[in-house]
Amino acid sequence: MKVSKNALKILKKRYLAPDETWEQLCERVARKVAGDEHQSKDRGKWEKKYKDMMLNLDFLPNSPTLRNFGRNEGCGSACFVLPLEDSRRSIFKTLSDAVDVQAYGGGTGMSFSNLRPKGDRIHSTGGIASGPLSFMEIFDFTIGDIIKQGGTREGANMGILRVDHPDIESFLVAKAIEGTLKNFNLSVGITDAFINAVKNDDDYDLVFEKNVYKTISASALWEKIVDGAWANGEPGILFLDTINRNNPLNSMGKIEATNPCGEQPLLPYCSCNLGSINLSQMIRGDWVEGGAEIDWEKLRQTVRTALRFLDSVISVNNYPITKIEKMTLTTRQIGLGIMGFADMCIKLHIRYGSDECIDVAKNIMTDIYTVASEISVALGKEKGVAPAYEEYPLSGPKRRNGTLTTVAPTGTLSLIGNCSSGCEPNFAFNYTKACLEGDDLDIVPAVVGEWYKKKKTELLPEFFVTTKDISIEEHIMVQAAFQTNGVDSGVSKTINAPYDTDKSEISKAFFKAWEMGCKGITFYRDGSRDVQALTIREEVIEAEKADELARGELKHRPRATTGPSLKMKTACGKLYVDPHFDKDGVVEIFIRTVGGGCAANTKALGILLSYCLRAGVSLEKIIRSMKSIHCPACTKAISSGKDVEVNSCAAGMGKGLEVAIAYSDVYRKVAKRIEDADIHFYGGRSTGIKNMICPDCGATVHRAEGCLLCSNMECGWTRC
């Protein structure tokens, strides 16, 4: 299967070796994994199956496997959990291990709950403890800012603190200021006892090593957790008792932490070796016309092949540290999951979040787990069961793998697979995603393109829904359907809610997730982080302009300004965006369309944006707002492969402003020279316009009704 343009951009930037193709990548990964087979004839057979499965985008392993296997000595596992005990030796040993893990391309999860609270006396030295947060800051700087994950991106980490730790209140506001602990996701380890204390409005003890440090209102602490989630999506929630009750390896010890995205609760030094089946590929029939159904045989065969693949990853892997290798080979945990679930629902003409959708989720995951368990038992007989079954009194049938299934976020993998991510709904049907270190991707889901191509209409039926159409309860019901019907690890799921969501809704969501048996939950209020990140910046901008403009006052527009004339292709024709600078910055913007579109509307938008700029409205805010606007015509054109450069005329305006300010220093200097020279177009030292030419097409320019007009009627350039 041919990968999409976006997939190719991602592959070139992060996965492909120099001059390597997608097929060659699949070949090298398949060859490495098939090396686990003892018979040469088996190696060839499985190598072909593995290659075809990836090449056709039916299944993809986690990113480190794709990037490293057959290319270098990097690790194929995605994430790890490391222990932290209350001693300098343990803390900095873990930091050293985390550095090695990150260098190999993995993320780390750690619970800081065993570290004594800030201000506590250290008996061995007589000193005073600095507390868990101080060590989190050290970890954040070292394995985030210094070590790049696998040499390609900043490190990913999960920091966890139990809800009964004496420093929990400080932990809850640790990321209130944008940029703090930027390489950490934060989650609170919630217990059943705390939840019940909140429900009963009881007091709650904060303890360390069985000593009570403080007694507070459980409800008040709950509100602080909700406040953080409402403000910027952090902290997330981990239900520790639910995790440990449902851990197939519970006789080996208590789980205290998860990997960075929360889908893999793990014991210390365990790793997650993940892969996801593309459910949008598990459909047969003409889905656009309503004749599609789940291809159960293809799904089951993909599960059989994928499980053997992931088990072999463990055997041929390169591990960053010896303890991780030992624990991974002992438990042989894998995480076979899914992506493309929302696209599958669309192809079945089912609305995401509906009762039918919940039933599909339950049936799909139950079937995957049943087949995976059968294959793992068979593999145990063929290659030997996981040593944990011989060393610990684990329940259930003895099999090759300690855990089998998980649902990962598949953020990058789903872009390669050209499908919706994990078990999430589609974010939107035309949007921009920043995921390549400054190189944004314009995304139109494949199902949208297929629908437009066959139906030739811009209208989408009601079963095409995005995250903004999904209620909070529907989000949780989908997550619970996967978690409690065939997932023995965890489910990565974010509840995306509107900006105006009330805090009480977040509180209800957390309770609902606990009641439904979810192992964790993340809540994100749309725009909350962007608003916070820009608040500081905008306050500075507004403070700088406070002395210049009174409320309702417009900045004076000088006689002459300067700036670029930018041409972009839209679905309706050409869009020209001309941002104009004075010596201080952008002060005005002219917008026009040629060859289609509504010239009156674009001209009106230019006037309104110019007033905004002259009134002191933040340029960054204007750009962000304009770029977020998409139109069906552009969406349809992009999905059908037409050469369209923007998602809407409004997005083009934002893009034009963004391009212009990249060269702000140049244009401001020119504008300053023009102002200093006291240049006038009419009268004075000017010789008039008889020698002026159009900056777009080169034709002569004439004056009419106070405006400069290009004499070439097909061009349409004008300036008033």
Buried residues in 118-134 as b, exposed as e (16+ CB within 10 A): eebeeeeeeeebbbbbe
Asked whether the predicted pLDDT for residue 711 surpasses 60, the reply is: yes
376: its two tokens? 């793992």
Angle between helices 446-455 and 632-639 (to 10 degrees): 90
Q: What is residue 597's predicted lDDT score, i.e. its pLDDT?
A: 74
Nearest to 231 by CA among 529, 535, 537, 539: 529
pLDDT digits (tens, 9 = 90+) for 96-155: 999 988 887 788 999 999 999 999 988 777 789 999 999 999 998 888 666 655 555 556
Distance in angstroms (rounded) separating the CA atoms of residues 462 and 458: 13
The H-or-E segment that residue 450 falls in is helix 446-455
| Among 112-121, 227-236, 586-595, 661-670, the least confident range | 661-670
Distance in angstroms (rounded) separating the CA atoms of residues 19 and 29: 16
Give the confidence band of 537 by pLDDT, cuts at 50, 70, 90: very low
Asked whether the predicted pLDDT for residue 690 surpasses 70, the reply is: no
pLDDT digits (tens, 9 = 90+) for 226-262: 999 998 899 999 999 999 999 999 999 999 999 999 9
Q: What is residue 536's predicted lDDT score, i.e. its pLDDT?
A: 24
3 touches 11 (CB < 8 A): yes
Specify the DSSP class assigned to residue 472. Answer: H
Place of tokens 């593309």: 278
Place of tokens 């002569």: 700
Q: Is 7 helix (H, G, I), strand (E, B) or coil?
A: helix
pLDDT digits (tens, 9 = 90+) for 173-196: 998 876 788 889 999 999 999 999
The H-or-E segment that residue 412 falls in is helix 411-417
What average pLDDT score do residues 38-48 get? 90
Nearest to 570 by CA among 531, 524, 539, 601: 601
The phi and psi torsions of 661 (rounded to 5 degrees) equal -70, -15
108 touches 95 (CB < 8 A): no
Asked whether the predicted pLDDT for residue 66 surpasses 70, the reply is: yes
Angle between helices 296-316 and 355-383 (to 10 degrees): 50
Rounded to a whole number of angstroms, the distance between the first and last alpha carbons of the chain is 53
Distance in angstroms (rounded) separating the CA atoms of residues 221 and 217: 6
Q: Give, in degrees to the nearest 5, the angle at Cα 150 between 234 and 146.
A: 65
Torsion 459-464-467-472 (CA) sign = positive
Asked whether the predicted pLDDT for residue 547 surpasses 50, the reply is: no
Q: Specify the amino acid at residue 110.
A: M
CA atoms within a 13 Å half-sphere pointing along the CA-CB vector of 606: 24
Residue of 452 and 694 predicted with greater confidence? 452
Distance in angstroms (rounded) separating the CA atoms of residues 680 and 674: 9
Q: How many CB atoms lie within 10 A of CB 223?
A: 14
The H-or-E segment that residue 575 falls in is strand 574-581
Asked whether the predicted pLDDT for residue 343 surpasses 70, the reply is: yes
164: its two tokens? 């009964």
Torsion 312-12-264-56 (CA) sign = negative
pLDDT digits (tens, 9 = 90+) for 412-444: 999 999 999 999 999 989 888 877 666 778 889
Q: How many CB atoms lie within 10 A of CB 185?
A: 23
206 touches 212 (CB < 8 A): yes
The H-or-E segment that residue 169 falls in is helix 168-172
**Across all residues in the chain, what is the average pLDDT?**
87
Q: How many CB atoms lie within 10 A of CB 85?
A: 12
Asked whether the predicted pLDDT for residue 686 surpasses 70, the reply is: no
392: its two tokens? 């610990």
Task: Kindly write down the DSSP assignment for every residue of 326-382, as one continuous string.
Answer: HHHHHH---EEEEE-HHHHHHHTT--TTSHHHHHHHHHHHHHHHHHHHHHHHHHHHH
3-state SS of 475-525? HHHHHHHHHCCCCCCCECCEEEECCCCCHHHHHHHHHHHHHCCCCEEEEEE
Distance in angstroms (rounded) separating the CA atoms of residues 76 and 319: 8
589: its two tokens? 């913007």
Place of tokens 């050409």: 574
121 touches 137 (CB < 8 A): no
Torsion 290-424-477-227 (CA) sign = negative
80 touches 269 (CB < 8 A): yes
Nearest to 443 by CA among 465, 457, 428: 428
Q: How many CB atoms lie within 10 A of CB 541?
A: 16
What percentage of the chain has pLDDT greater than the value 90? Answer: 60
Rounded to whole angstroms, what are the CA distances from 50 to 32, 37, 399, 413, 417? 10, 13, 22, 16, 15
323 touches 264 (CB < 8 A): no
Asked whether the predicted pLDDT for residue 689 surpasses 60, the reply is: no
What percentage of the chain has pLDDT greater than the value 70? Answer: 88
Q: Specify the amino acid at residue 252.
A: M
Pairing of strands 184-190, 701-704: unpaired
Catalytic residue ranges: 259, 261, 263
